[in-house]
Amino acid sequence: MSRKHSAKAAPFDLRAQKLVICLGPGGVGKTTISAALAVHAAVIGCAVDVMTVDPAPRLLDALGLAPDSSEPVGVEFEFALDGIEAPRRTDATRARLRALRLDPKRTFDSIVARYAKSDSARDTILENRIYRNLSGALAGVADYMAMEKLLELAANPDTDLIVLDTPPATEAIDFLDAPRRLLELLNSRAINLLTAPNGIFKSQLRMVDVAARAVLTAFDRVTGLKLLRDVQAFVRSFDGMYEGFSTRAARARDKLRASDTAIVIVTTAESSRIAQAREFIDALESAGLRVSAMVVNRVLADLPDAAELASAHIAPSLRKKLKRNLADYAALKTREEVSLSALRDSLPAGAVMMVAHDLGREPRTIADLAEIGRSLRAS
């Protein structure tokens, strides 16, 4: 689908955002760009929290954190400025950087503890075998728990910006769709049925689906697990908490669509990645979500000056090899520029495209991340 983006789109300003969500396929350096944006925002004076929901611990490794950092942990970034001319800060005393990795099970437990009607209700839920086995494994639980954690971080008035590193590929779309799916679940007939009084529950189930009841009853009899009873007890134990879940899901949905939330697609200039980036844009637009920026990672450096090679005092054989290498590099750069042009044509109206140059090495330190953040520029 052809799109025309504004040639006068405003530069992407981290200080104007409250939430930056980084999306992209695996292998494009999305986690690195997320961390680099967070470090750069801290460098220019923002109080920043960066959270990863990607199960790979690369972001935590880059920031020097332990794998179990499920609560915000302060990250030292001042030393990353050695040899880097930092932008002038608006408020250097406010600047700070914290990072964490989402732990869905621990987040779910904390929500139960916070919103249960009583201590006994809390213990009933936490000790329920259905809850213990499924709270960290149910489809969508991790996605929604990330949203709960996001709301918790956003409620802190001392935080200027949250940078969110999402799962790769299509999982990221599922992640962004989690609030809507939870709202649908909470309003579904299944929840109403399972939370009904026991007699009404049996009557409704018998009238609605005799076959399903027969299968579940037989399963309970053979296994002795009493699954039907336990599932109903598990769902009913949340009585009084569903409205809170629904309210927070609606808040999370609104947060994703807020004017100070920026969705950033991270990609590289390979043709296969360009196709994936376009699919992301289409999927986000279908979901009613606005793309603010695209970051093209690992862009080749500018071509060296051929005149310097011609005037260099080197052996003819070496000059010949260097000319051949320069020609090959120029061909790669030309192909990359064609890809960048195609990506510009794919941008939605008002979105900005930025490039991050290839460091020539794997970024492993805060200084590396700071360098990437400083190099980001509009293309």
Per residue of the chain (379 residues), give pLDDT as tens. Answer: 444 444 444 468 899 999 999 988 888 989 899 999 999 999 888 999 999 876 566 667 778 777 777 788 898 876 555 544 444 445 556 789 999 888 878 888 888 898 888 899 899 888 887 787 766 555 567 777 888 899 999 999 999 999 999 877 666 777 788 887 777 766 665 555 555 555 444 444 444 455 555 555 665 565 555 566 666 677 777 777 778 888 888 899 899 999 999 999 999 998 888 888 888 888 888 888 889 999 999 998 887 777 777 778 888 888 889 889 888 888 888 888 988 888 888 788 889 999 998 988 888 888 889 889 988 988 7
- Domains (range + CATH), the chain: 15-195+239-301+308-378 (3.40.50.300), 196-238 (no CATH)
Dist. CA 223–CA 220, nearest whole Å: 5
Helix, strand or coil, per DSSP, at residue 324: helix
Query: Can you give the pLDDT at residue 131?
Result: 80
On whether the CB atoms of residues 84 and 44 are closer than 8 A, the answer is no
CB-hemisphere CA count at 13 Å for 249?
22
pLDDT at 277: 86
pLDDT of residue 173: 76
d(CA 205, CA 211): 10
Distance from C-alpha of 35 to C-alpha of 366, rounded to nearest angstrom: 9
What is the structure's pLDDT at 68? Answer: 72
Count of helix runs (H) and strand runs (E) in the chain: 17, 9
pTM strictly above 0.95: no
Three-state DSSP state, 353: strand
